[in-house]
Amino acid sequence: MSRRIAGILLTAGLFACLLAVSALLAKQPPAKPLDLNSATAEQLPELPGIGPSTAAAIIAFREKSGPFRRVDDLLAIRGISKKKLEAIRPYVFVAAPPKSSWLFRFGTKRVA
């Protein structure tokens, strides 16, 4: 076999191996959508395009500004563009806040 053919076969084999490894390392999105107001720092990086630093930014935003009201609020976070938001959207949601009585909303505790 000539050197040229051997080189082509070696290159093709390496390329096939790289494709196989990248497929194994590809991030799998979460099995069920994540609530943006309760997702942890370990769960958020499962989202497409979200790494540890963006996950930390999402949590910091949530702690500073309060719970997310809608998924589009993610656009306020640096590093999340409209394109990235559209990739994330199928995997996240914002749960409705728990309903409480008007007494609790105004700071008065109900006595039994």
Burial (Cβ within 10 Å: 0-12, 13-18, ≥19) of residue 14 = exposed
Domain ranges of the chain: 34-93
Q: Give yes or no for residue 7 having a pLDDT over 90.
A: no
Burial (Cβ within 10 Å: 0-12, 13-18, ≥19) of residue 12 = exposed
Q: Across residues 76-104, what is the average pLDDT?
A: 85
Q: Give yes or no for residue 73 having a pLDDT over 70.
A: yes
* pLDDT given at position 28: 84
Residue labelled with tokens 């076969």: 9
Class of the CATH-defined domain 34-93: mainly alpha
Q: Give yes or no for residue 101 having a pLDDT over 80.
A: no
